[in-house]
C-alpha cells in the first residue's frame, strides 16, 4: 500500500507521478505537433495526448484537495479526458493500420474496425454528456470526505453511478481494440525495418491496456486495489514508447526521429517547467492548494507557449510581413528543425540554400512586376527597389546611352536606364517573325506586357483585342513577368561576373 497522503495543507506526495505524467503528456503532444506535418494521424495522436494530460491534471489536483469545494471543480471539469482519450487512441491505431494500405486489411477496416470506431465515438459522446448531465456516471451529489484510515490516493469518495460499468466496458473495448489493430498493422507490414518499429506500437498498446484498465476494470472489481498513480505511470510509459518510435508511424513525423532531438526537446521543456515552477513557488506565501493549481497550470502554459512558439510566429508573420518574407522565415524555420532530425548536415545546407534561392527569385519577380507598373512614371520608377537588385545591369545601360559622362547619374538617369532595360527584356519576348503567330503563347505574352505596361491599355481592352478569357490573360501575364525576371537575373549575373560598372 502506498504511503498515506498528508492531511491538511501538505502536498500529497503520492500524486507526484500523476503530475509528472501529466507534464510529460503535454510535452509529447507538443513534440508531435511541432515535429510532424498536419495529418489525420498526427492530429489524432495530439488529441489523445491532450485529453489524457487534462484528465491527469484533474486527478492530481483532486487528490490534493482537502475539501469538497476544492475537489469538485478539478475532478468534474477535467473528467472528459477519461472518455475522449481512449476513443482517440483506438482511432489512431485504426488510421495507422489504414496507412499500411495492405489489401488483406481493407475488408477488416471497412467492415469491422471503422464501424466499431464509429460506435465507440458515439459511446464516448454519450459518456461525456453523462459526466455533466446528471449523476448517471458519477454521483456528484453524494461525494464525501473519506475517513483518515481509508485514504490511499484521494481524500474524497465519489460513488459510481449506474452507467459506470459502461465506462469500464468502454475502456476495455477501446484499449483491446487498439491492441488488435496494432498487431494487425505489425502483421501486414512487409518491410523488415518498419515491422520492427511496429513491434514498439504493440508495446504501447499493451501498456495502454494495462494502464487504462487498471484504473477502470480492475479497480472497479477490487474497489481500488491498484494505486491510481501506478496506472498513470503505465499510461505515461505507453505514450513515451509511442513518441520514441514515432518515425515508424507513417505520417506522424516528417523524416527520421533522431535520439538527440527527442532528448533536446524534452530537456528544454523540463528546464522551462523547473524555472517557472520555482519562480511561482518562491513568489508564493507558502504551500497551499491554490498555489499548487497555479503551479500546475503555469507549467502547462509554459510548455505550450514555448513549444508552439513557431506556430504562433507564423500567425503573427501573416499580420506584419509580405508573402516573400513569410515564406523565407517559414522555410528557414523548417530547415532549422530538419537540422535536428537529419543526420546528413550537407543535405540540410543544400536545402537551406535552395530555399533562399527560390524565395530570392520570387522576390525578384515581385519587384519586376512593381517596376513594370511604373514604367511610364520616371519619378515613381526612380524609387523602385529593382534598381538596387540590378546595379550592374543599370550601370551598363546608363554607360551605353551616355558614353563617358564624367558626372554620376541622378535618380532619374538611373530610372531611365532601368526603363530601357525593362523595355529591352519585353521586346526579347517577341518570337521570330516566322513563329510570330498572333495566337501563339510567346506572341501573346509579348503583346500583353507591351500593351499593358508600354501602351497603357486596360486589362479588359487587351482581353477583348485578343479574344481571351480573364484566366488566360492573367496566366500568360504571370508567365511573361517570370520570363522577364529570369532575363534580368541572367543579365545581372553576366555583368557582375564580367566586372561591369555600377552606379
Q: Any idea where the domains of the chain sit in the sequence?
A: 21-257, 318-362, 375-497
Its sign, for the CA torsion 38, 43, 44, 46, is: positive
pLDDT at position 227, please?
58
Its sign, for the CA torsion 334, 340, 341, 347, is: positive
Specify whether the CB–CB gap between 330 and 316 falls below 8 A: no
pLDDT at position 5, please?
42
User: Which tens digit of pLDDT belongs to each residue from 480-496?
Assistant: 999 999 999 988 888 88
**SS3 state of residue 7:** coil
Domain range 21-257, CATH class: mainly alpha
- pLDDT band at 220, cuts 50/70/90? low
Average pLDDT over residues 76-101: 87
Q: What share of the chain is helix, strand, coil (3-state, %, to 5)?
A: 75, 0, 20
Residue 224 makes CB contacts below 8 A (sequence gap 6+) with 152, 153
User: Which tens digit of pLDDT belongs to each residue from 161-175?
Assistant: 888 888 888 988 988
Q: What percent of the chain has pLDDT over 70?
A: 80
pLDDT at position 253, please?
39
Determine phi and psi for 39, rounding to 5 degrees: -155, 165
d(CA 501, CA 403): 12
Number of Cβ atoms within 10 Å of the Cβ of 235: 25
Between the two ends of the chain, the Cα-to-Cα distance in Å is: 84
Q: What is the pTM of this model?
A: 0.67
Q: C-alpha grid cell for residue 410?
A: 541622378
Q: C-alpha grid cell for residue 58?
A: 484533474
d(CA 210, CA 233): 10
Specify whether the CB–CB gap between 235 and 52 falls below 8 A: yes
In the predicted structure, residue 57 carries a pLDDT above the cut 90 = yes
d(CA 265, CA 43): 19
In the predicted structure, residue 79 carries a pLDDT above the cut 70 = yes
In the predicted structure, residue 247 carries a pLDDT above the cut 50 = no
Number of Cβ atoms within 10 Å of the Cβ of 113: 22
In the predicted structure, residue 65 carries a pLDDT above the cut 50 = yes
Mean pLDDT in the chain? Answer: 79
Determine phi and psi for 160, rounding to 5 degrees: -90, 145
pLDDT at position 339, please?
67
**SS3 state of residue 10:** coil
- pLDDT band at 114, cuts 50/70/90? very high
The total number of residues written for the chain in this structure: 503
Amino acid at each position: 500500500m502506498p504511503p498515506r497522503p498528508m492531511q491538511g495543507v501538505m502536498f500529497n506526495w503520492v500524486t507526484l507521478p500523476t503530475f509528472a505524467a501529466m507534464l510529460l503528456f503535454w510535452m509529447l503532444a507538443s513534440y508531435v505537433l511541432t515535429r510532424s506535418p498536419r495529418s489525420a494521424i498526427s492530429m489524432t495522436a495530439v488529441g489523445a495526448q491532450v485529453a489524457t494530460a487534462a484528465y491527469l491534471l484533474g486527478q492530481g489536483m483532486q487528490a490534493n484537495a482537502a475539501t469538497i469545494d476544492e475537489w469538485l471543480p478539478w475532478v468534474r471539469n477535467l473528467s472528459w479526458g477519461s472518455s475522449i482519450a481512449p476513443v482517440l487512441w483506438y482511432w489512431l491505431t485504426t488510421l495507422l493500420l489504414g496507412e499500411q494500405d495492405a489489401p488483406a486489411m481493407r475488408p477488416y477496416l471497412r467492415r469491422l474496425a471503422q464501424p466499431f470506431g464509429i460506435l465507440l465515438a458515439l459511446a464516448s459522446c454519450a459518456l461525456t454528456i453523462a459526466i455533466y448531465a446528471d449523476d448517471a456516471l458519477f454521483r456528484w451529489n453524494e461525494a464525501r470526505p473519506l475517513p483518515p484510515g481509508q485514504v490511499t490516493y484521494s481524500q474524497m469518495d465519489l460513488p459510481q453511478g449506474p452507467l459506470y460499468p459502461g465506462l469500464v466496458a468502454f475502456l476495455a473495448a477501446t484499449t483491446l481494440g487498439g491492441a488488435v489493430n496494432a498487431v494487425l498493422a505489425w502483421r501486414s507490414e512487409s518491410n523488415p525495418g518498419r515491422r520492427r518499429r511496429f513491434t514498439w506500437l504493440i508495446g504501447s498498446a499493451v501498456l495502454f491496456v494495462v494502464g487504462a484498465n487498471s484504473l477502470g476494470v480492475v479497480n472497479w472489481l477490487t474497489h481500488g486495489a491498484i494505486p491510481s498513480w501506478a496506472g498513470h505511470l503505465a499510461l505515461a510509459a505507453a505514450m513515451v514508447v509511442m513518441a520514441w518510435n514515432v518515425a515508424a508511424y507513417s505520417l506522424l513525423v516528417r523524416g527520421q526521429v533522431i535520439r538527440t532531438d527527442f532528448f533536446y526537446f524534452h530537456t528544454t521543456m523540463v528546464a522551462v517547467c523547473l524555472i517557472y515552477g520555482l519562480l511561482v513557488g518562491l513568489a508564493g506565501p507558502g504551500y497551499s492548494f491554490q498555489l499548487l493549481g497555479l503551479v500546475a497550470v503555469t507549467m502547462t502554459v509554459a510548455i505550450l507557449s514555448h513549444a508552439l512558439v513557431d506556430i504562433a510566429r507564423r500567425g503573427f508573420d501573416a499580420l506584419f510581413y509580405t508573402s516573400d518574407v513569410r515564406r523565407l522565415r517559414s522555410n528557414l524555420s523548417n530547415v532549422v528543425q530538419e537540422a535536428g532530425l537529419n543526420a546528413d548536415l550537407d543535405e540540410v545546407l543544400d536545402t537551406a540554400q535552395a530555399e533562399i534561392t527560390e524565395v530570392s527569385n520570387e522576390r525578384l519577380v515581385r519587384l519586376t512586376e512593381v517596376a513594370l507598373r511604373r514604367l511610364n512614371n520616371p519619378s515613381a520608377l526612380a524609387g523602385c527597389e529593382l534598381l538596387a537588385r540590378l546595379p550592374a545591369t543599370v550601370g551598363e545601360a546608363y554607360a551605353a546611352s551616355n558614353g563617358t559622362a564624367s558626372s554620376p547619374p541622378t535618380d532619374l538617369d538611373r530610372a531611365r536606364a532601368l526603363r530601357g532595360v525593362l523595355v529591352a527584356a519585353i521586346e526579347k519576348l517577341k518570337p521570330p517573325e516566322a513563329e510570330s503567330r498572333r495566337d501563339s503563347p510567346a506572341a501573346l505574352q509579348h503583346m500583353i506586357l507591351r500593351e499593358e505596361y508600354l501602351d497603357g491599355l486596360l486589362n479588359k481592352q487587351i482581353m477583348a483585342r485578343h479574344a481571351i478569357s480573364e484566366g488566360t490573360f492573367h496566366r500568360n501575364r504571370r508567365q511573361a513577368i517570370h520570363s522577364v525576371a529570369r532575363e534580368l537575373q541572367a543579365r545581372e549575373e553576366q555583368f557582375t561576373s564580367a566586372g561591369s560598372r555600377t552606379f
